[in-house]
Amino acid sequence: MLTVLAASAGSAAAGGTATPAAGGVTSLVQSVDWLAIAPPTLAAVFALIVLVADLFLSERRKPLLGWLSVVGLVLAGLSLLPLLKGDRTTFCLTAHPEVCSYEADHFAIVVQLLVLGGALLTALLSVNPVKDEKLPGGEFWFLLLSSAAGAALLPASRDLATLVIALEVASLPAFALVGIRRGDRLSSEAALKFFLSSVTATAVMLLGVSFVYAATGSLHLAQVAEALTHPDPQLDVLAKAGVALTLVGFAFKTAAAPFHFWVPDTYVGAPLPVAAYLSVVGKAVGFSGLIVVTVKAFPSYSEVWGPVLAVLAALTMTVGNVAALRQRPDRAHSAVRLLAWSSVGQAGYLLVPIASAAYSDDAAHAIGSTVAYALMYAAVNLGAFAVAALVARTHPGNRIADYRGLYAAHPVYALALGFFLLCLAGLPPGIIGLFAKVTVFSAAVDAGLAWLAVVMAVNVVIALYYYLQWTAVLFRAPEGAPEGEARPARPRIPAPLATAVGLTALVGIALSGAPQLVLRFASGALL
């Protein structure tokens, strides 16, 4: 009986009331739509299967865990097919069936596709490094699947408690993945820096969530939005502080300046597939959380978060691109550092439509530009990391200078990397990158943020220099080799790595061939 009373109190605190059942007993039973929650659930189930299987497999058979993880991620991705209508909800309040903690709407489905696709490509990139670097296979695959499960849960979360839990489930395994190379100083330092800064940001975000709960009496986003429309004047300052502090945690996950300082060292210290995972899936987690809380929970406080996100967008893209411009080609790990700073700059572009949503009459449409850009960025950035992983097999230092002569040794992979870099720069033949940038630029102009559009245009020009400089290196003759010399023998490329490069290239080419898909996302209301 005490349990029922406590649960009833918790339901009331969350903004709902329990439904009296026959005999005066309070019914708190909720139906669970297992199909709606299948994507994150399958990833979590396979994580547990991998963890248990690791106990019974011999060392020689441990590579099977990687392929088992790939199968789990493929099945999780396929489970999105029955959800394409975007009309399923679950974990709803018994007294208010329209208020739910989980919504498999179109926004959630698209982001889950991005997350699970990014995790699948990361798994393909990781199959050989886990074996070659003698990483603990069971732990690696368990952590990757667990993080992917949290990342897939977050875009469908519709209450602040579930959002925080999903964010931490996605983040905590990532700390361990960064530091999984035991005895490596760079890896340990990167994991510690990532962990400490992330924990600080999470603490600030939790303080903000508690302020929002105190001001509104609810954790469900729909009820928070309703309560903030007409807040108690005595609690208005508390609510504004809660909104600002809540956004800090998600700004950290997006690597927005000034919360970006962990990115370069973390990417360099982590195994390269983990850095690729953080650059795409980690960003998807931060941006989807940021979109959900701003558009769903805090639309009436757009005057608080709109200007802040606009300034963060301008600062982030400028810091990222200027720092990428300063990378020396002969410095150790300069290729990974350039990709790290590039990802910071790209985060600034992704923030522009979210900031524009605060000034738009239809915020849901503005969000489409961010989602469209994120899909383009995910495909080509993972492809760039895949080619970087290929080069790292023969040049562990992974300097930009090491890419000189790549066309002579691996013409297909050099062309692929050149295509990925041109997509990120927004130049033909990377048509998808150009269209994605145009949609983001248009979102700022339509929202009346002309100054932000100008800052973005300047930064796009700055970025052209270092993207084109790296692209030019690919087609130069190797050091000491005369022009026209016969191509050197090609070392064998592992099949999973070749598959990852091929898939990302195919996605990029397909999107460049049908750029109207970007416009469709940009003009469609996903939320």
pLDDT at 182: 83
Distance CA 305, CA 218 (A): 20
CA distances from 5 to 8, 27, 32, 100, 213 (A): 5, 11, 22, 21, 21
pLDDT at 6: 37
* Closest residue by Cα to residue 459 from 316, 353, 338, 279: 316
pLDDT at 154: 94
Q: Around 416, how many Cα atoms within 13 Å sit in the side-chain half-sphere?
A: 26
Q: Please give the backbone phi and psi of residue 19, each rounded to the nearest 5 degrees, phi first.
A: -95, 120
| Residues in Cβ contact with 416 at an 8 Å cutoff, skipping those fewer than 6 apart | 383, 387, 501, 504, 505
pLDDT at 23: 45
Distance CA 61, CA 286 (A): 36
List 382's β-bridge partners, or say none: none
Please state whether the predicted TM-score (pTM) of the whole model is above 0.85. yes
**Terminal Cα-to-Cα distance of the chain (whole angstroms):** 40
CA distances from 479 to 4, 155, 402, 470 (A): 74, 48, 10, 16
The set of long-range contacts for 397-400, using a CB threshold of 8 Å and a minimum separation of 24, is: 397/332, 397/333, 398/272, 398/332, 398/333, 398/334, 398/335, 398/336, 399/329, 399/330, 399/331, 399/332, 399/333, 399/334, 399/335, 400/327, 400/329, 400/330, 400/334, 400/335, 400/338, 400/470, 400/473
pLDDT at 161: 93
Q: Is 461 exposed, middle or buried (0-12, 13-18, 19+ CB in 10 A)?
A: exposed
pLDDT at 230: 85
The DSSP 8-state label assigned to residue 297 in this structure reads I
CA angle 466, 471, 472 (to 5 degrees): 100
Q: What is the C-alpha radius of gyration for the chain, rounded to an integer number of angstroms?
A: 23
Assign 20 to helix, strand or coil.
strand
Strands 100-104, 19-20: pairing is unpaired
Distance CA 356, CA 527 (A): 15
Q: Is 451 exposed, middle or buried (0-12, 13-18, 19+ CB in 10 A)?
A: exposed
pLDDT at 525: 60
Do 267 and 337 form a contact (C-beta atoms < 8 A)? yes
Tokens 């956004």 appear where? 247
Name the token pair of 287.
């941006």
Do 296 and 526 form a contact (C-beta atoms < 8 A)? no
How far, in whole angstroms, is CA 229 from its chain's centroid? 30
Q: Is 15 exposed, middle or buried (0-12, 13-18, 19+ CB in 10 A)?
A: buried
Tokens 């967008």 appear where? 313
Segments of the chain scoring below 50 in pLDDT:
1-26, 483-489
